[in-house]
Structure 1
Amino acid sequence: MTAHDHVPPGPVAVLANPSAGRGRHRGLLPRILERLGAAGRPVELLRARTPAEAEAACHAAVADGAGALVTVGGDGTVHRALQAVAGTVVPLGPVPAGTGNDFAVETGFPADPAAAVEVIAEALATGRTRPVDLARLSRPGVPDRWYGAVLAAGFDAIVNERANRMRWPRGPRRYDLAIVVELAKLRPRRYRLSLDGVPQEVDAVLIAVGNVASYGGGMRICPEADPHDGLLDVVVGGRFDRRTLMRVKPQIYRGTHVTHPLVRAYRARTVELDTDGITTYADGERAFDLPVTVTAAPAALRLLR
């Protein structure tokens, strides 16, 4: 992996999600802006109230000549920024201040936000950037999307979808309740899966397509995924029943679930995936209904590292 000494001229645009990580890092923002400013460029805080506004603000900043984009938040905030900087020379600096910071941590940034800002500010000052892979998500009739961490296309996506529809309870307990509700209805689905053009059908409760190893705040669902190898890691959890799935779930944090006889792991450059009734989640954000095609995009992003 090579370092390149070039950050384009122009201001540093900062996208901050004030509610990331349930607001626990909100007080950090003034210090972050000050530290970035000390790297010798103007700093512009982007205004956005919703995820859609955040994404539009990132696109506008890049179009207006921003030299770099820094996110203060979790994987969702990074996901919005990726749509604007992927495939460009504008580098990204992710400050991990969310509930799930899988992309930032898995691509080598310190988990501590203040330490990550130091790394980013130093890279800005010296003009250093490093390439990292992304994944490109496609579905007929809609514009492609990029993601950096993991695409969830099974039980995990169904739980996310339910949790997002629930108004009660607030916070992480809503997610726990969604798991309980969906576990009661757990059944394998027949997936049509194609890896680099080779089709197969699998009965599975979970399929994840990873650019990095972890999602959901440290669950190592694709433990061997490497964001510098030009490949996607595909993990298929087969015909699990409720009891077996709950027994294996704690192993996902260590990445040891892949040794279970019902789990299969693959590597591919292109993954086509289809089944009925699933909306995928990429970087924890609602993405496309199946069918989708996921393509590895080697070195599609430059990081301030």
Structure 2
Amino acid sequence: MTRRFTAVVNPAAGGSTGTVDALARLLRAAGAEVEVEPSRGLEHAREVARRAAERGRVVLGVGGDGMVGCVGGALAGTEAVFGIVPAGRGNDFARALGLPDHPAELAALLLGAEPRRIDAIELTSARHPGVPVLGSVYAGVDALANHYANRSRLLRGGASYYVGGMRAVATWRPAAYQITVDGQVYERRAYTVVAANSGYYGFGRRIAPAARVDDGLLDVVVIRAVPRPLFFAVMNELKRGTHVNRPQVETLRGREITIAADRDLRYGADGEVGGTLPVTARVLPGALNVLCEPPPPVGEPG
């Protein structure tokens, strides 16, 4: 059966227009039907995605993690089939799924791959009561760094995250966190706390290298308060995921995680959703039907 696609595009993402044009030509040449819907904002993108799914179309989220999380979140808990077209700044959720970014390779996958059930996250806070997101929920210095990166107009890609991180760390004071994992409370003085479905965030940093998107669990990573030079060393190890071997980094695992702190702190999710603590992240097992390769062997991130 020929697949019918609706591509929901974030026009503000640098590579979205060119990427979707090239991809659409390849899909149409293979006999698929493709319609392209530019988004006027996240809420509009959700509406377009839901309407397309109701018509039985494969819904493509085209852009970075914010657009992918928005479109995927709108489809969570349904039987809709979701495809990801990485065309933004971070593309971390696409990276976790091992998706290609070359249009020809991606077109072949979207045409031939079988849908795979993966988990999502239900985020609940005063600002966001029950919003589905995909990658991770993070609170602390990384949320502030992401806030600065998103406001950058001169820098893109990894440079915006690097400069945003430097700016955030320069004035950061470790906070006293209360982290509740499946009802058990942990009190930690820390720089940041991450509840991860995907192993990646912040432009390819492997914050939770053991996380899997299909295990029904969230990996919680706590980077405890350390002298600033040591914190920078930990940050440098995020690219390889070796930071989790340090005694200053604690990992937990659970289905429902609530993060609170002793002062007003930002949280973030999927690069776009944000607010102020407290926040709760609850895993939604198998909530999303996504076109991607089969899961990797147990023991490898995926």
CA gap of 1:175–1:226, structure 2 versus 1, over 3 A, is closer
Superposed CA deviations along residues 8-53 of structure 1, whole A, max 9, x for unmatched, are x984211123443x33x64332231133335655322113233343
1:205 aligns with 2:186: no
Contact 2:8 2:61 (C-alpha < 8 Å) held by counterparts? yes
1:13 to 6, 15, 28: 6
* Distance in 2 of aligned mates of 1:152 and 1:299: 21
State the shift of 1:129 in Å: 1.3
Could you tell me which amino acid in structure 1 is paired with residue 21 of structure 2? P
Shift of 1:217: 1.9
Unaligned runs of 5+ in 2: 293-302
Name the SS of the counterpart of 2:212 in structure 1.
coil
Q: Which residue matches 1:46?
A: 37
Match of 1:4 in 2: none
Kindly indicate whether residue 266 of structure 2 is the aligned counterpart of residue 279 of structure 1.
Answer: yes
Q: Tell me if structure 2 keeps the 8 A contact 1:92–1:302.
A: yes
Letter in 2 for 1:203: R
Cα offset for 1:169?
4.2
Alpha-carbon deviation of 1:271? 0.5
Match of 2:46 in 1: 55
Matches of 1:116 and 1:40 in 2, distance apart? 15
Residue in 1 aligned with 2:87?
Answer: 97
Instruction: Tell me the equivalent position of 1:152.
Output: 138
**Which of 284, 287, 291 lines up with 1:300 in the alignment?**
287
How big is the shift at 1:89? 0.6
Aligned length: 290
Partner SS for 1:251: helix
Per-residue CA deviation, residues 101-160 of structure 1 (Å, 9 max, x unaligned), is 22122123224343122101223xxxx311111111112574311222122211110122
> Which contiguous aligned blocks of 4+ residues in structure 1 show a shift greater than 6 angstroms?
none
Map Cα deviations across residues 216-253 of structure 1 (whole Å, 9 max, x no partner).
22100011001111100000000122211112211101
Deviates more, 1:75-84 or 1:178-187: 178-187
Looking at structure 1, the residues matched to 99 and 160 of structure 2 have their Cα atoms a distance apart, in angstroms, of: 29
Q: Relative to structure 2, which stretch is displaced further, 268-277 or 107-116?
A: 107-116
- 1:130 counterpart (116, 135, 138): 116
1:42-93 superposed Cα distances (whole Å, 9 cap, x missing partner): 3221132333432332233334x24210122221221110222111111111
Query: 1:222 maps to what in 2?
Result: 208
Matched, 1:241 2:227: yes
1:283 CA drift (Å): 1.2
Contact 2:60 2:83 in 1 (8 A): yes
2:255 maps to 269
After TM superposition, the score normalised by the length of structure 1 is: 0.86
Q: Give the alignment partner of residue 217 of structure 2, picking from 224, 231, 254.
A: 231
Q: How does the TM-score come out when normalised to structure 2?
A: 0.87
**CA 214–169 in structure 1, closer or farther in 2 if over 3 Å, else same:** same
Give the match's secondary structure for 2:40.
coil
CA–CA distance in structure 2, aligned partners of residues 47 and 138 of structure 1: 28
Q: Residue 38 of structure 2: SS of its match in structure 1? A: coil
User: Residues of 1 paired with 2:104 and 2:12: CA distance?
Assistant: 18
Q: Is the 8 A contact 1:47 1:57 kept in 2?
A: no
Could you say if the C-alpha distance between residues 257 and 142 of structure 1 is closer, same or farther in structure 2, counting changes exceeding 3 Å? closer
CA distance in 2, matches of 1:218, 1:169: 20
Specify whether residues 102 and 161 from structure 1 end up closer, same or farther in structure 2 by C-alpha distance, changes over 3 A only: closer
Structure 1's unaligned 5+ residue stretches are: 1-6
Query: Letter of the aligned partner of 1:271 in structure 2?
Result: I
User: What is the percentage of aligned positions where both structures have the same residue?
Assistant: 34
Aligned AA (2:124): S
